[in-house]
Amino acid sequence: MIKIKNVSKYFGEKAALKNINLEIYDGETLAIIGGSGSGKSTLLRLMIGLIQPSEGEIWIGDDEISKMTEEQITKVRLKMGMVFQYSALFDSMSVGENVAFGLVEHTKLSESEIKKIVREKLKQVGLEGVENLMPNELSGGMKKRVSLARAIAFEPEIIFYDEPSSGLDPIMTNKIDELIIETQRALKVISVVVTHDMVSACRIANRIAMIYNGALIAVDTVENFKKINDPRVKEFFRVID
């Protein structure tokens, strides 16, 4: 479980997040929504340990990470998989090398064992036989799938998705949403999806949390979220009415 307790984050005098309290449960998919500059990406960076909160605590299972050293956080991150907004693949590496990167860096597995895992994970995301392709030979949707294969190579307990449908057309967005759902069912991990796409959030999530001007203004199931009579929430739902 992820537990965020009384977390605030300041950049200078600006409060990016204000007293956030949130629990994310084992086996659920939580979508974190909000407009540009709302603070949702800052919250994601805090949960990954890329930045530290100004106040409060962040628990990843039994580990409180807010005051950890980089070396300590690196060990906790081995429980996490990350799918970045723009895939963040290494252009100079093949698809197979990209997927294998974390395994090469952080395990003592043999080359043949790593190649087997790479093949399995690429198959799991619907990309068989592409190990030798380069990232510039892939479509945007394929890059997202490779990024997910890399994220699940470690058998993580948590997968974070940063704007997974950004830059994709509606058809490919649907496919990525289906892939997130399929991955969740197969691995039974915690999935945290940061998005401004309300349609995707409703499709993939068990619960939705909304950040507005740095404050957490609503957390509920998809069905209950649709009934919230707050103009800030209702504005987001106008796109799918």
Look at the block and give the residue holding tokens 């997927």: 99
What is the DSSP annotation of 4-31? EEEEEEEETTEEEEEEEEEEE-TT-EEE
What's the pLDDT tens digit per position in 73-98? 988 988 898 887 666 788 899 999 99
What's the pLDDT tens digit per position in 171-219? 878 888 988 898 888 889 999 999 988 889 999 999 999 999 999 999 9
- Please count the other Cβ atoms lying within 10 Å of the Cβ belonging to residue 175: 17
> How far apart (Å, rounded) are the C-alpha atoms in residues 64 and 53?
12
Report the predicted TM-score, pTM, of the whole model to 2 decimal places.
0.88
> How far apart (Å, rounded) are the C-alpha atoms in residues 222 and 29?
11
